[in-house]
Amino acid sequence: MSIGITETAVAGAPPAEHAAHAVHTIPAARTGRTTADGGARSARRLPAPSPLRRIADVLRGRFVVIVSGIFLAFVAVASAVPQLFTRLDPYKTSPADKLLAPSAQHWFGTDQVGRDLFTRVLYGGRATLLASLISLSIAFVGGLLIGVISGYFGGWIDGLLMRGVDVLLSIPGLLLAITIVTAIGFGTTPVAVAIGIGILPGFARTTRSQVLRVRERSYIEAARVGGVPVTSVIFRHVIPNAIGPVSVLALLDFGSVIMAVATLSFLGFGARPPAAEWGSLINDGRSYLVTSPWVPLLPGLTVVLTVLSITVIAQSLKKRGNL
């Protein structure tokens, strides 16, 4: 830099103040660069957040989801193996202990014939959740089958199947389920079948829309031109690429299915007494809502918290793009 200043001075002979200005400008630029570099180094030297801080941030942002997951895990395990959480018989009556308030001995109190209500809620959860899973499986598999056939083959097959789906969609799901269970008989399994058929049209419509999108892809056309059998194209390419939104619908509908099973059980279409289901427990205790409110309210609260937890987790997974 000093060589450049000297050459300028000799060639142009600038005034002294110009030379002084040039000399003083160079340190200023260097100082600015040094300050910027120092600031960048300071920013780079900021300590990384500790593992405990990271965990705290995660818990703060997902507290509701974590609590919902813990509650659902407890409900699933308790319903599958209720003997882990209670030693009492859900069918053993004790008239001397009827309508006892919740206590350390009876967490949910007792019902009108002295049966432990917490035990009956656990055993009732097994029947309700099992019926819900059966319903969801029927709707998922049946809707997937109808949607794939309709969307892939098109033509008169598509028109025929979709008109049948439209007819089912025109009937409210719960009314359709009540009609079916009335025709095939009462009980947990008929209720599960009826609800599964009632929600099947939604799965069929969703699957068909995805298949219509997937079947136009270039790799599907290449497989057809290459002589790949239709069944291989469907099971290897179409279904794996169309099943994602259907899985989202299944998880989002799981809570609604539980509510539908509990509703039909409440109306008397479920298992016969003394078998326990969440809906029948609420129905049995509704006469004691004023005198012994825990009898209907605690089973009802269990249903509400279970459905709410499923909805929270499903919405969280959907937002994060994991479904």
CATH number at 186 reads 1.10.3720.10
Q: Does residue 143 share a domain with residue 116? A: yes
Q: Does residue 90 share a domain with residue 23? A: no
Count of domains for the chain: 2
Q: Does residue 38 share a domain with residue 138? A: no
Is residue 85 included in any domain, yes or no?
yes
| For residues 39-46, average pLDDT | 49
Is residue 281 included in any domain, yes or no?
yes
Q: What's the pLDDT score for residue 59?
A: 56
DSSP at 1 = -
Is residue 96 included in any domain, yes or no?
yes
Q: What's the pLDDT score for residue 31?
A: 46
Claim: this prediction has a pTM higher than 0.85: no
Is residue 160 included in any domain, yes or no?
yes
| For residues 118-126, average pLDDT | 94
Q: Does residue 82 share a domain with residue 25? A: no
- Other CB atoms within a 10 A radius of the CB of residue 127 amount to 23
Q: How confident is the model at residue 204 (pLDDT cuts 50, 70, 90)?
A: very high
Domain that holds residue 24: 2-44
Is residue 50 included in any domain, yes or no?
no
Mean pLDDT of the chain: 82
pLDDT at 118 over 80: yes
Q: Does residue 100 share a domain with residue 24? A: no
Residues 6+ away with beta carbon under 8 Å from 275: 127, 188
Q: What's the pLDDT score for residue 122?
A: 94
| For residues 142-168, average pLDDT | 91
Q: Does residue 102 share a domain with residue 11? A: no
Q: Does residue 293 share a domain with residue 166? A: yes
Q: Does residue 148 share a domain with residue 32? A: no
Rg (CA), the chain: 34
Is residue 54 included in any domain, yes or no?
no
Q: Does residue 78 share a domain with residue 12? A: no
Is residue 142 included in any domain, yes or no?
yes
Q: Does residue 35 share a domain with residue 80? A: no
Is residue 199 included in any domain, yes or no?
yes
